Amino acid sequence: MARMSMIEAIRDAIDLSMEADPTVVVFGEDVGYFGGVFRCTSGLQKKYGSHRCFDTPISENGIVGAAVGMAANGLRPCVEIQFADYMYPAYDQIVSEAARLRHRSAGMFTAPLVVRMPTGGGIMGGQTHSQSPEALFAHVAGLKTVIPSTPADAKGLLAAAIADDDPVIFLEPKRLYNGPFDGHHDRPVRPWSKSELGEVPSGPHEIPLGKANVLRAGADVTVLTYGTMVHVALTAVEESGIDAEVIDLRTLVPLDLDTIEESVRKTGRCVIVHEATRTCGFGAELMATVSEECLYSLEAPPIRVTGWDTPYPHSQEWDYFPSPARVAAALKQVLES
Amino acid sequence: MSDPFLHVPEPGCRPGDAPDFSDVVIPKAGAVPRPAIDVDAEEIRNLAYSIIRVTNKKGEAVGDWAGSVDLDQALIGLRDMLRLRAMDARMVIAQRQGKTSFYMQALGEEAVSCAFQRALEKGDMNFPTYRQQGLLVAADYPIELMMNQVYSNEGDPLQGRQMPVFYSSRDYGYFSISGNLGTQYIQAVGWAMANAIKGERKVASAWIGDGATAESDFHAAMVFASTYKPPVILNIVNNQWAISTYQGIARGNSGTFAARGLGFGIPSLRVDGNDYLAVHAVATWAAERARKGLGPTLIEHVTYRDGPHSTSDDPTAYRPKGEAEKWPLGDPVERLKEYLIKQGHWSEERHTQAVAEIEAEVLETQKKAEATGTLQDGRRPPPSEMFEDVYATPPAHLVRQRQKAGI
Ligand SMILES: Cc1ncc(C[n+]2csc(CCOP(=O)(O)OP(=O)(O)O)c2C)c(N)n1
Residue of B264, B305, B391, B357 whose CA lies nearest to B131: B305
Is A186 close to B3, i.e. CB distance below 8 A?
no
The shortest C-alpha distance from A308 to chain B (Å) reads 7
Is A129 close to B6, i.e. CB distance below 8 A?
no
**How large is the average pLDDT for residues A40-68?**
98
Residue of A114, A157, A122, A138 whose CA lies nearest to A312: A122
pLDDT band at B402 (very low <50, low <70, confident <90, very high): very high
**How large is the average pLDDT for residues B184-211?**
98
Question: How far lies B129's CA from each of B103, B143, B181, B348, in Å?
Answer: 14, 18, 7, 34
For the cut 60, the answer to whether the pLDDT of residue A181 exceeds it is no
In angstroms, rounded to a whole number, what is the distance separating the alpha carbons of residues B112 and B236? 10
For residue B246 and ligand 1, the question of a CB distance below 6 A is answered with: no
Is A126 close to B244, i.e. CB distance below 8 A?
no
Evaluate the CA torsion angle A193, A194, A200, A205 in order and state its sign. Answer: negative
What was the pLDDT predicted at B2?
60
Which of A126, A181, A187 has its CB closest to that of B98? A187
Residues in chain A with CB shorter than 8 Å from the CB of B181 are 58, 86
Query: Which residues of B carry out catalysis?
Result: 305, 309, 318
For residue B180 and ligand 1, the question of a CB distance below 6 A is answered with: yes
For the cut 50, the answer to whether the pLDDT of residue B137 exceeds it is yes
What was the pLDDT predicted at A318?
85
For the cut 60, the answer to whether the pLDDT of residue B189 exceeds it is yes
Determine contact: B380 vs chain A, CB below 8 A: yes
Q: Within B97-131, where are the H helices? A: 110-117
Cβ A59 vs Cβ B216: under 8 Å: yes
Residues in chain B with CB shorter than 8 Å from the CB of A188 are 98
pLDDT band at A194 (very low <50, low <70, confident <90, very high): low
Residues in chain A with CB shorter than 8 Å from the CB of B214 are 57-59, 62
For the CA of B213, the closest atom of ligand 1 is: 15
Ligand 1 center to B309 CA (angstroms)? 9
Summarised one tens digit per residue, pLDDT across range A211-240 is 999 999 999 999 999 999 999 999 899 999
The shortest C-alpha distance from B405 to chain A (Å) reads 8
Cβ A233 vs Cβ A273: under 8 Å: yes
DSSP-derived 3-state class of residue A119: strand
How many Cβ atoms from other residues are within 10 Å of residue A330's Cβ?
Answer: 22
What is the average pLDDT score of chain B? 96
**How large is the average pLDDT for residues B363-370?**
98
What was the pLDDT predicted at A182?
37
Summarised one tens digit per residue, pLDDT across range B308-331 is 999 999 999 999 999 999 999 999
Residue A45 CB-half CA count within 13 A: 20
For the cut 70, the answer to whether the pLDDT of residue A180 exceeds it is no
Determine contact: B283 vs chain A, CB below 8 A: no
In angstroms, the first-to-last Cα distance of chain A is 44
Summarised one tens digit per residue, pLDDT across range A89-107 is 999 999 999 999 999 999 9
Ligand 1 center to A224 CA (angstroms)? 36
What was the pLDDT predicted at A193?
65
Task: Name the amino acid, one letter, at B294.
Answer: L
Ligand 1 center to B256 CA (angstroms)? 19
For the CA of B182, the closest atom of ligand 1 is: 1
For residue A29 and ligand 1, the question of a CB distance below 6 A is answered with: yes
For the CA of A128, the closest atom of ligand 1 is: 25
Residue of B343, B363, B365, B346 whose CA lies nearest to B354: B346
Is B243 close to A57, i.e. CB distance below 8 A?
no
State residue A271 phi and psi, 5-degree precision. -120, 130
CA-nearest residue of chain A to B213?
A: A58
Summarised one tens digit per residue, pLDDT across range A131-166 is 999 999 999 999 999 999 999 999 999 999 999 999
Residues in chain B with CB shorter than 8 Å from the CB of A56 are 249
Q: Which chain B residues in 134-163 lie under 8 Å from chain A, judged by CB atoms?
A: 152, 156, 160-163
Is A316 close to B385, i.e. CB distance below 8 A?
yes
Residue B3 C-alpha from the chain's centroid: 37
Is A59 close to B95, i.e. CB distance below 8 A?
no
Cβ B115 vs Cβ B76: under 8 Å: no
Residues in chain B with CB shorter than 8 Å from the CB of A315 are 152, 156, 160-161, 375, 380-381
In angstroms, rounded to a whole number, what is the distance separating the alpha carbons of residues B217 and B16? 36
**CB-count exposure of residue A334 (10 Å: 0-12, 13-18, 19+):** buried
For the cut 70, the answer to whether the pLDDT of residue A190 exceeds it is no
For the CA of B310, the closest atom of ligand 1 is: 19
Determine contact: B236 vs chain A, CB below 8 A: no
Is A57 close to B214, i.e. CB distance below 8 A?
yes
Residue of A261, A193, A278, A190 whose CA lies nearest to A224: A261
The shortest C-alpha distance from B105 to chain A (Å) reads 15
Is A311 close to B390, i.e. CB distance below 8 A?
yes
For the cut 70, the answer to whether the pLDDT of residue A185 exceeds it is no
How big, in percent rounded to 5, are the helix, strand and coil portions of chain A? Answer: 40, 20, 40
For the cut 60, the answer to whether the pLDDT of residue B1 exceeds it is no
Ligand 1 center to B20 CA (angstroms)? 24
What was the pLDDT predicted at A183?
35
Sequential DSSP letters for A46-113: HHH-TTTEEE--S-HHHHHHHHHHHHHTT-EEEEE-SSGGG-GGGHHIIIIIITTHHHHTTTSS----
Length of chain B: 407
For residue B260 and ligand 1, the question of a CB distance below 6 A is answered with: no
Summarised one tens digit per residue, pLDDT across range B213-252 is 999 999 999 999 999 999 999 999 999 999 999 999 999 8
Question: How far lies B319's CA from each of A54, A260, B14, B256, B305, in Å?
Answer: 17, 51, 5, 21, 11
Cis before A180 (ω within 30): no
Q: Is A123 left (phi over 0), alpha (psi -120 to 50) or beta?
A: alpha
Count contacts between A and B (CB, < 8 Å). Answer: 148
Q: Within B183-234, where are the H helices? A: 183-198, 216-228
pLDDT band at B267 (very low <50, low <70, confident <90, very high): very high
Summarised one tens digit per residue, pLDDT across range A1-12 is 999 999 999 999
Lowest mean pLDDT among A41-55, A191-205, B127-141, B310-324: A191-205
What was the pLDDT predicted at B378?
78
pLDDT band at A188 (very low <50, low <70, confident <90, very high): very low
pLDDT band at A184 (very low <50, low <70, confident <90, very high): very low
In angstroms, rounded to a whole number, what is the distance separating the alpha carbons of residues A254 and B237? 45
Summarised one tens digit per residue, pLDDT across range A298-313 is 999 999 999 999 999 9
| Helices vs strands, H then E, count in chain A | 12, 14
For residue B243 and ligand 1, the question of a CB distance below 6 A is answered with: yes
Residue B129 C-alpha from the chain's centroid: 7
Residues 6+ apart with CB under 8 A from A133: A84, A85, A87, A119, A171, A276
The shortest C-alpha distance from B297 to chain A (Å) reads 23
**CB-count exposure of residue B46 (10 Å: 0-12, 13-18, 19+):** exposed
For residue A132 and ligand 1, the question of a CB distance below 6 A is answered with: no
Summarised one tens digit per residue, pLDDT across range A251-268 is 999 999 999 999 999 999
Ligand 1 center to A80 CA (angstroms)? 14
Determine contact: B320 vs chain A, CB below 8 A: no
Query: Which residues of A carry out catalysis?
Result: 129
In angstroms, rounded to a whole number, what is the distance separating the alpha carbons of residues B132 and B139? 12
In angstroms, rounded to a whole number, what is the distance separating the alpha carbons of residues B140 and A102? 57
The shortest C-alpha distance from A26 to chain B (Å) reads 13
State residue B3 phi and psi, 5-degree precision. -140, 120
Task: From B163, B243, B249, give the residue whose CB has the most ligand 1 atoms within 8 Å, as the site to mutate.
Answer: B243
Summarised one tens digit per residue, pLDDT across range B17-75 is 999 999 899 999 999 999 999 999 999 999 999 999 999 999 999 999 999 999 999 99
pLDDT band at A123 (very low <50, low <70, confident <90, very high): confident
The shortest C-alpha distance from A123 to chain B (Å) reads 8
Q: Encode burial over A40-60: b for 16+ CB neighbours within 10 A, e otherwise.
A: bbbebbeebebebbbbbbbbb
What is the average pLDDT score of chain A? 94
Determine contact: B93 vs chain A, CB below 8 A: no
